């Protein structure tokens, strides 16, 4: 072995559900592929469940959120199976859901499943109960209940307007005019789904957010019209009669690629190519932000696949990292990547500022809070308000102490960010709830251990 011998020691210890990291990663030069895009995997399953006939997907993300979606459509009477390397959904048409009374759908940890599926259940003749795990049960569902009630659906709650809840649809749905002001793709998509089931034209003025639902509607030639504005899009959707089956080869998830992009940027003399990544312009906030911070990133071999942009991402380590005053208009395109971006700011040669981040505390855990907490444990000075953070970067940051990360509501992105921090800055880390990666990126640790081989 020619360069330094062992790169990282990811050792299962005590309870198998924690990992211990004692060493930084050594330099690497690799080509990797990360798993399928979560947003697209969930949407493909939902659209296929409404299609006529057999839809097939390759490279579907086999994570807990996606399996929960598969189970949800099965509960609604749709046959769906995972074979060796493809998933098949046997759709029965746009009105093909068939289910008993009193069914329960468990969205587990997935805000996307929980929120999108309510839109599709807007005409349900029976009450359907929606439940989720501890994290999802703490998240805001009023953002969905409010517009769907305007269509004519009825909701019941236990106490607050969170999960568990139950929805009773209506046969007399009225199209709505709605202003979606948070930049939430989940909210926008749920309303689009409800609009697809409603006579007349539903009109949504939606603050910019990821647009996979709209692209799939267009690809399937559904009656959708989109007028793009500077900060908002105007979307008009009419009642859908039929959806054709849809075969899809799911590209890789930029939100998973992000961890390895940052690991490369923060490591010495390293280079990485991540293949076949979905670089939809509404998702590439991390690329824009890292480039502003002086990181060398190249987008190669671009192609368009069913309306989505796909490319290989090449990234190199950076000797100097510039601080950023991050423009708020980049927030929505990087909303799942801020925790990992904060690590880059920790090594910048100055103070970085991220603002208008109220949505970050609406995620699987309050992530602005957790971002600040991890940085504090690393010895990085921050000033936080309820929607902003100032990070005082230190280009010579080295950690020489023990750091324990626990009680973070099993948020997968908190876990993976902590692992990347340990491998980039050193120190002796104990990170709990390893299982949380099953939510979005089950082979995260496996890819990391492949990256240490033969460096």
State which residue, 133 or 359, has the beta carbon closest to ligand S3P. Answer: 359
Helices (H) and strands (E) in the chain, counts: 13, 24
Binder of ligand S3P out of 124, 186, 318, 418 (CB under 6 A): 186
Binder of ligand S3P out of 64, 112, 280, 317 (CB under 6 A): 112
Q: How far is the CB of 412 from ligand S3P (least distance, A)?
A: 10
Asked whether the beta carbons of 346 and 397 are under 8 A apart, the reply is yes
Sign of CA dihedral 129, 134, 136, 139: positive
**Chain centre to alpha carbon of residue 273:** 21
Binder of ligand S3P out of 163, 185, 341, 368 (CB under 6 A): 185
Q: Alpha-carbon distance 336 to 371, whole Å?
A: 12
Is 357 a binder of ligand S3P (CB under 6 A)?
A: no
Tell me: cis bond preceding 293? Omega within 30 of 0 counts: no
Using CB under 6 A as the binding rule, the residues of this chain from 26 to 65 that contact ligand S3P are: 39
Asked whether the beta carbons of 343 and 421 are under 8 A apart, the reply is yes
Can you list the alpha helix ranges (DSSP code H) found in 221-270?
254-266
Q: How far is the CB of 335 from ligand S3P (least distance, A)?
A: 5
State which residue, 112 or 436, has the beta carbon closest to ligand S3P. Answer: 112
Asked whether the beta carbons of 157 and 149 are under 8 A apart, the reply is no
Q: Report the SS3 class of residue 332.
A: helix
Is 191 a binder of ligand S3P (CB under 6 A)?
A: no
Is 336 a binder of ligand S3P (CB under 6 A)?
A: yes
Which of the residues are catalytic? 336
Q: How far is the CB of 127 from ligand S3P (least distance, A)?
A: 25
Is 184 a binder of ligand S3P (CB under 6 A)?
A: yes
DSSP 324: -
Using CB under 6 A as the binding rule, the residues of this chain from 61 to 100 that contact ligand S3P are: none
Applying CB under 6 A, the span of 19-27, 184-192, 269-277, 348-356 interacting with ligand S3P comes to 184-192
Q: How far is the CB of 188 from ligand S3P (least distance, A)?
A: 7
Residues 6+ apart with CB under 8 A from 371: 338, 339, 342, 360, 389, 417
Residues at the site binding ligand S3P, with contacts judged by CB under 6 A? 39, 111-112, 184-186, 189, 209-210, 335-336, 359
């Amino acid at each position: 072995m020619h360069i330094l011998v062992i790169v990282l020691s990811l050792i299962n210890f005590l309870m198998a559900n924690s990992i211990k990291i004692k060493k930084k990663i050594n330099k690497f030069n690799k080509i990797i592929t990360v798993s399928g895009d979560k947003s697209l995997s969930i949407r493909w399953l939902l659209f296929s469940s409404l299609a006529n006939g057999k839809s097939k997907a390759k490279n579907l993300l086999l994570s807990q959120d996606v399996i929960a979606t598969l189970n949800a459509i099965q509960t609604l009477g749709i046959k769906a199976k995972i074979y060796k390397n493809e998933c098949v959904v046997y759709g029965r048409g746009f009105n093909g859901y068939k289910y008993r009374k009193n069914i329960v759908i468990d969205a587990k940890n997935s805000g996307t499943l929980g929120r999108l599926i309510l839109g599709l259940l807007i005409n349900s003749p029976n009450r359907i109960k929606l439940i989720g795990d501890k994290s999802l049960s703490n998240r805001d569902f009023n953002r969905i209940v409010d517009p769907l009630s305007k269509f004519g659906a009825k909701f019941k709650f236990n106490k607050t307007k969170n999960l568990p809840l139950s929805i009773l649809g209506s046969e007399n749905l009225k199209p709505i005019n709605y202003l979606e002001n948070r930049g939430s793709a989940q909210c926008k998509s749920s309303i689009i789904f409800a609009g697809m089931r409603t006579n007349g034209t539903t009109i949504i003025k939606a603050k910019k957010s990821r647009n996979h639902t709209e692209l799939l509607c267009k690809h399937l030639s559904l009656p959708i019209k989109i007028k793009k504005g500077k900060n908002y899009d105007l979307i008009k959707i009419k009642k859908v009669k039929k959806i054709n089956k849809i075969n899809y080869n799911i590209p890789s998830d930029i939100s998973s690629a992000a961890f390895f992009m940052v690991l490369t940027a923060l490591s010495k003399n390293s280079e990485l190519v991540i293949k076949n990544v979905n670089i939809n312009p509404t998702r590439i906030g991390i690329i824009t932000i890292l480039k502003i911070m002086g990181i060398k990133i190249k987008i190669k071999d671009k192609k368009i696949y069913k309306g989505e942009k796909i490319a290989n991402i090449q990234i190199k380590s950076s000797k100097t990292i510039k601080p950023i005053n991050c423009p708020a208009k980049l927030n929505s395109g990087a909303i799942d990547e801020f925790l990992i971006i904060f690590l880059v700011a920790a090594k910048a040669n100055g103070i970085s500022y991220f603002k208008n981040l109220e949505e970050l505390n609406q995620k699987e855990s309050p992530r602005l809070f957790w971002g600040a907490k991890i940085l504090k444990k690393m010895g990085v000075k921050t000033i936080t308000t309820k929607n902003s953070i100032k990070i005082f970067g230190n280009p010579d940051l080295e950690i020489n102490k023990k750091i324990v990360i626990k009680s973070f509501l099993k948020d997968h992105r908190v876990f993976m960010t902590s692992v990347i921090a340990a491998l980039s800055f050193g120190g002796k880390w104990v990170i709990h709830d390893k299982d949380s990666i099953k939510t979005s990126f089950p082979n995260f640790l496996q890819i990391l251990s492949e990256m240490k081989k033969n460096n």
